[in-house]
């Protein structure tokens, strides 16, 4: 990226914040394609779990195509933004064109470009944001869980709207997203940023309450408590940030409260990931030590590596807070957020494999869509046997006799014609 040299140090961060969300969305779609491929290969029937239309759902090839297409557009827009001085297009326009096209791609009303899948996603998003008013299905809370890992996208979207509303300098036609002296969009000082950061956790919180209302299972309240810890983490983070900027004496109090609730939230979510969402550490695991009795994926090492990965990334915030609080280098918060946001998307990608496997095995899924479907996919011998059964002569002869009997019955039931006719 030699073109970054054309941008001054402080002014590069609005560009990073605006384009970071698009990159995370493309990464998520690409990894979801890998999820879909892995589920299909392992025999996890994600089509039935999500209650998709078997004839019109997106395969992993489709997801790769969409991610690749959007990735090319993202790169072209970023290059046009960086080299805005040479393209005679104001730098401020390029992100608007990119995200405007992405929005039109999603809400396009014509029956083209994966219309049924896009319509299914829009309906699902509507159900997620209106969770208290209807029963919650597996796809509903699965998508809300994805939003919890994509919260940086929502925060960057909020920043982009605020930036273009209050801070952008349209008269700077040289192509630089310029800052103003009074920067409020990337701070907690005006409150909106903290509210946006809590939206995904709030959606899951009210989904858990709705599920408790429907079936009176107490563990839904425990799950709701897990998401409520996010509210405390965000609140004390916002208070620490605003009080630190004003040099208040109680800044350290909010800092320690932030650390305490972050630790509680991480332990809470980690235990729920491993025990409830993945169904691991089952006492009846037998030879599958620390796992569960039934596993789908062929190597136990996948499960152990996933456990280690989840522990590390659940507590990666300790590095983020340490480097940010010490202020070793300028813009440490932006740099660390840009590095750790893709890692959180990767953590959710790994989580998806074992969450759907556990749902398929009916260990702790409350809204089961699996029923009695076998986990193992059909092999070549099974398909050959089915073909032989379908080609047996008895079956063909029986169908012929049945047709002849129906034909004779239909002839006997016909009314005889009169001679005068």
Report the C-alpha gap between 384 and 113 in whole angstroms: 36
Report the C-alpha gap between 218 and 413 in whole angstroms: 64
What are the pLDDT digits (tens) for 48-93? Answer: 899 898 888 999 999 999 999 999 999 999 999 888 777 777 888 8
What are the pLDDT digits (tens) for 187-208? Answer: 887 789 999 999 999 999 999 9
Position 419 confidence tier, pLDDT thresholds 50, 70, 90: very low
Mean pLDDT lowest for which of 22-26, 73-77, 177-181? 177-181
Q: Would you state the structure tokens that stand for residue 99, as one six-digit string?
A: 């995200």
The helix/strand/coil state of 413 is coil
Per-residue pLDDT, 200: 97
Q: Which is nearest to 370 in space by CA: 351, 384, 349, 355?
A: 355
Report the C-alpha gap between 99 and 89 in whole angstroms: 16
Q: Would you state the structure tokens that stand for residue 304, as one six-digit string?
A: 């152990």
Q: Which is nearest to 24 in space by CA: 35, 32, 13?
A: 32
What are the pLDDT digits (tens) for 285-334? Answer: 888 899 988 899 999 999 999 999 999 999 999 988 887 777 666 677 78
Per-residue pLDDT, 272: 96
pTM as predicted = 0.84
The helix/strand/coil state of 108 is coil
Q: Residues of the chain with pLDDT > 70: what percent?
A: 79
Angle at 90 between CA 99 and CA 107, to 5 degrees: 15
Per-residue pLDDT, 367: 45
Q: Is the Cα dihedral 184, 186, 187, 190 positive or negative?
A: positive
Position 387 confidence tier, pLDDT thresholds 50, 70, 90: low
181-207 in b/e form (b: 16+ CB < 10 A) is eebebbebbeeebbebbbbbbbbbbbb
């Amino acid at each position: 990226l030699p073109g970054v040299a054309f941008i001054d140090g402080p002014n590069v961060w609005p560009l990073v914040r605006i384009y970071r969300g698009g990159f995370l969305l493309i990464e998520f779609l690409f990894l979801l394609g890998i999820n879909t491929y892995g589920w299909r290969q392992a025999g996890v029937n994600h089509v039935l779990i999500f209650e998709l239309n078997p004839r019109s759902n997106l395969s992993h090839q489709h997801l790769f195509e969409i991610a690749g297409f959007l990735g090319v557009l993202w790169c072209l827009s970023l290059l046009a933004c960086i080299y805005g001085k040479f393209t005679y297009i104001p730098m401020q326009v390029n992100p608007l064109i990119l995200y405007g096209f992405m929005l039109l791609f999603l809400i396009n009303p014509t029956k083209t470009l994966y219309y049924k899948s896009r319509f299914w996603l829009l309906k699902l998003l509507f159900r997620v944001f209106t969770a208290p008013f209807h029963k919650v299905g597996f796809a509903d809370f699965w998508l809300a869980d994805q939003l919890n890992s994509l919260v940086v996208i929502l925060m960057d979207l909020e920043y982009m709207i605020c930036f273009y509303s209050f801070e952008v300098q349209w008269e700077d036609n040289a192509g630089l997203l310029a800052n103003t002296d009074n920067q409020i969009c990337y701070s907690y000082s005006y409150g909106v940023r903290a509210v946006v950061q809590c939206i995904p956790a709030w959606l899951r919180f009210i989904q858990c309450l709705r599920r408790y209302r429907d079936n009176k299972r107490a563990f839904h309240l425990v799950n709701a408590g897990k998401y409520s810890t996010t509210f405390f983490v965000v609140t004390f983070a916002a208070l620490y940030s605003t009080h630190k900027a004003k040099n208040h004496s109680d800044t350290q109090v909010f800092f320690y409260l932030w650390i305490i609730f972050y630790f509680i939230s991480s332990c809470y979510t980690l235990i729920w990931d491993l025990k409830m969402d993945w169904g691991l550490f089952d006492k009846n695991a037998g030879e599958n030590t620390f796992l569960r009795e039934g596993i789908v994926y062929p190597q136990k090492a996948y499960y152990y590596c996933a456990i280690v990965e989840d522990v590390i990334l659940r507590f990666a915030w300790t590095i983020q807070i340490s480097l940010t609080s010490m202020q070793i280098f300028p813009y440490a918060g932006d740099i660390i957020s840009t590095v750790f946001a893709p890692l959180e998307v990767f953590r959710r990608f790994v989580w998806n494999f074992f969450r759907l496997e556990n749902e398929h095995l009916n260990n702790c899924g409350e809204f089961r869509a699996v029923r009695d479907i076998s986990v193992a996919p059909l092999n070549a011998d099974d398909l050959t046997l089915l073909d032989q059964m379908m080609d047996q002569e008895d079956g063909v002869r029986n169908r012929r006799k049945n047709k002849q009997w129906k034909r004779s019955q239909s002839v006997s039931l016909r009314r005889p014609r009169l001679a005068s006719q």
